[in-house]
């Protein structure tokens, strides 16, 4: 028997991207940084662990409050052990940029998933700035070895719109000689640019180009982390496709480079109301109220993709319940996430009765298909795990999700919040 509604008010955890950066930038700033709304997920805790190994004093006051006693970039110590980023692609790529500013030696590793994720998109441009970098397959895979110092600014035309690539290069340019510029094919998330400015760094943005002049330092500050819209996305879709639902999500980040999920769902006919928008902060936020609504198929592609790349698994689920066909394209980036998300989404949802075809750069989803219970697997990917949990709410019969613990990477309280909205707690 399928669920008859999700109802209630929740506050999703702090934004993962902003939580990572607040610890990183606080660590290389002069003075103390206080962080409120921090996400205590596994990935962000990996970032804290790495910077502690670099000699930074970081106090986790409670689940959402962190105090970082910055040492300045040149105050970072050479670590006596390897820096293990766990499952976090953001940590490994951004920390490479930061460590490029020091002449120390560093070795970076991660888990099995990280070992499969391509790093040349970052190591190649960093090498062109004068940084010594090596690793498996000429620096494309971990373990990676890095020694920085004597960095030269570059102008880099990125073949992909990637906030991680852009951020790594800009961070390497903090103390580089001259100006460092990154030009993207489409605009990616701008959390790094916004936060650098909050720490007192001057960043120049012009169209699809972002520049930073070398020789700048960061000053400790207070960072308020809004709720993660990528986490909210699971409940925005759940509230839309589960009948008799009404969910209010408090203080969700509304950064325009991240709100593609709202554009897509509204275009599909979703009922989402925005309340209490606050824009006089580095990262705007609002409360979102979602109610059940009939959805229709749509097309997702082009410059929308960088604004919702992490939300595509849950968009695919929404599309299975929409009338008509949904086409997702220009999303080949999904192949190099925690899993090959194109194949994984298609395979796991098809086990539950969905009608989805994989394409080279996305998927075609034939909507209006009832789902049934099945044995499915997150494959260690947090976003696949949460998507399958929402799918189980509309499936007839029992669904068993293997490796569901993967959700702790970005949303440790996900299942507790789901139970609360079901009325189980």
Query: Does 383 belong to an annotated binding site?
Result: yes
Is 310 one of the catalytic residues?
yes
DSSP code of residue 296: B
Percent of the chain clearing pLDDT 90 (strictly above): 93
pLDDT at residue number 59: 98
pLDDT at residue number 382: 93
Q: Which residue stretches of 268-355 are H helix?
A: 312-320, 341-351
Percent of the chain clearing pLDDT 70 (strictly above): 98
Q: For residue 336, name the pLDDT band (cuts at 50, 70, 90).
A: low
pLDDT at residue number 298: 98
Mean pLDDT of the 49-58 span: 98
Query: Does 194 belong to an annotated binding site?
Result: no
Query: Does 21 belong to an annotated binding site?
Result: yes
Look at residue 4 and tell me whether its pLDDT is greater than 90.
no
Pick left, alpha or beta for residue 340 (phi over 0 → left; psi -120 to 50 → alpha; otherwise beta). beta
Look at residue 86 and tell me whether its pLDDT is greater than 80.
yes
Peptide bond into 59 cis (omega under 30): no
pLDDT at residue number 3: 63
CA 40 to chain centre: 14
* Segment 120-150, tens digit of pLDDT: 999 999 999 999 999 999 999 999 999 999 9
Query: Does 375 belong to an annotated binding site?
Result: no
Closest CA to 371 of 321, 415, 425, 312: 321
Look at residue 257 and tell me whether its pLDDT is greater than 50.
yes
- Cα 391 to Cα 105, 136, 378, 379: the distances in Å are 46, 38, 12, 16
Q: Kindly report the average pLDDT of the chain as a whole number.
A: 95
Antiparallel, parallel or unpaired: β 222-224 and 355-359: unpaired
* Segment 221-252, tens digit of pLDDT: 999 999 999 999 999 999 999 999 999 999 99
- Cα 106 to Cα 69, 109, 207: the distances in Å are 21, 10, 35
Query: Does 52 belong to an annotated binding site?
Result: no
CA 156 to chain centre: 23
Give the contacts of 241 (CB within 8 A, at least 6 positions apart): 292, 295, 317, 318, 321, 390, 394
pLDDT at residue number 425: 45
> Are 413 and 233 spatial neighbours (Cβ–Cβ below 8 Å)?
no
Take residue 3 and report the two structure tokens written for it: 């669920």
Round to whole Å and give the CA distance between 60 and 3: 38
Query: Does 166 belong to an annotated binding site?
Result: no
* Segment 282-315, tens digit of pLDDT: 899 999 999 999 999 999 999 899 899 899 999 9
Residue 412's SS3 state is coil
Closest CA to 333 of 356, 349, 312: 312
pLDDT at residue number 1: 43
Round to whole Å and give the CA distance between 80 and 209: 38
> Are 271 and 292 spatial neighbours (Cβ–Cβ below 8 Å)?
yes
Take residue 361 and report the two structure tokens written for it: 């750069």
Look at residue 99 and tell me whether its pLDDT is greater than 70.
yes
* Of 310, 330, 381, 419, catalytic: 310
pLDDT at residue number 367: 98
Mean pLDDT of the 184-195 span: 96
* Segment 151-165, tens digit of pLDDT: 999 999 999 999 999
E-strand stretches of 236-382:
246-253, 271-278, 285-291, 299-300, 325-328, 355-359, 362-366, 375-377
């Amino acid at each position: 028997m399928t669920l008859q509604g999700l109802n209630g008010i929740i506050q999703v955890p702090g934004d993962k991207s902003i939580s990572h950066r607040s610890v990183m930038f606080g660590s290389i700033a002069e003075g103390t940084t206080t962080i409120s709304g921090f996400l205590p997920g596994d990935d962000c805790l990996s970032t804290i662990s790495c910077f502690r190994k670099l000699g930074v004093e970081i106090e986790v006051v409670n689940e959402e409050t962190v105090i970082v006693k910055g040492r300045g970039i040149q105050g970072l110590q050479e670590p006596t052990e390897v820096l293990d980023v766990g499952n976090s692609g953001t940590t490994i790529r951004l920390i490479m940029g930061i460590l490029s500013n020091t002449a120390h030696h560093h070795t970076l590793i991660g888990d099995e998933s990280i070992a499969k994720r391509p790093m040349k998109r970052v190591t190649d441009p960093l090498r062109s700035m004068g940084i010594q970098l090596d690793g498996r397959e000429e620096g494309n895979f971990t373990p990676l070895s890095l020694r920085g110092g004597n960095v030269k600014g570059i102008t880099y035309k990125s073949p992909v719109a990637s906030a991680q690539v852009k951020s790594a290069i800009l961070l390497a340019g903090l103390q580089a000689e001259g100006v460092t510029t990154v030009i993207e094919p489409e605009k990616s998330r701008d959390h790094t640019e916004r936060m650098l400015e909050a720490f007192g760094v001057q960043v120049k943005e012009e169209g699809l180009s972002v520049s930073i002049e070398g020789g700048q330092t960061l000053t400790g500050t207070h960072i308020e982390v809004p709720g993660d819209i990528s986490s909210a996305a699971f409940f925005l879709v759940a509230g839309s496709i589960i009948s008799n639902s009404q969910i209010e999500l408090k203080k969700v980040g509304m950064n325009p480079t991240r709100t593609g999920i709202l554009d897509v769902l509204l275009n599909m006919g979703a009922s989402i109301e925005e309340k209490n928008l606050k824009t006089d902060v580095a990262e705007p936020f609002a409360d979102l109220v979602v109610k059940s609504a009939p959805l229709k198929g749509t097309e997702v592609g082009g410059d929308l993709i960088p604004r919702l790349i992490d939300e595509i698994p849950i968009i695919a689920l929404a599309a299975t319940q929409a009338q008509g066909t949904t086409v997702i394209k220009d999303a080949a980036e999904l192949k190099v996430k925690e899993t090959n998300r194109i194949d994984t989404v298609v395979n796991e949802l098809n086990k539950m009765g969905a009608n989805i075809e994989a394409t080279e750069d996305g998927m075609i989803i034939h909507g209006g298909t009832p789902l049934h219970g099945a044995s499915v697997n997150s494959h260690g990917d947090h976003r696949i795990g949460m998507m399958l949990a929402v799918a189980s709410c509309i499936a007839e019969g029992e669904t068993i999700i293997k490796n569901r613990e993967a959700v702790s990477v970005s949303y440790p309280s996900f299942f507790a919040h789901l139970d609360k909205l079901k009325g189980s707690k």
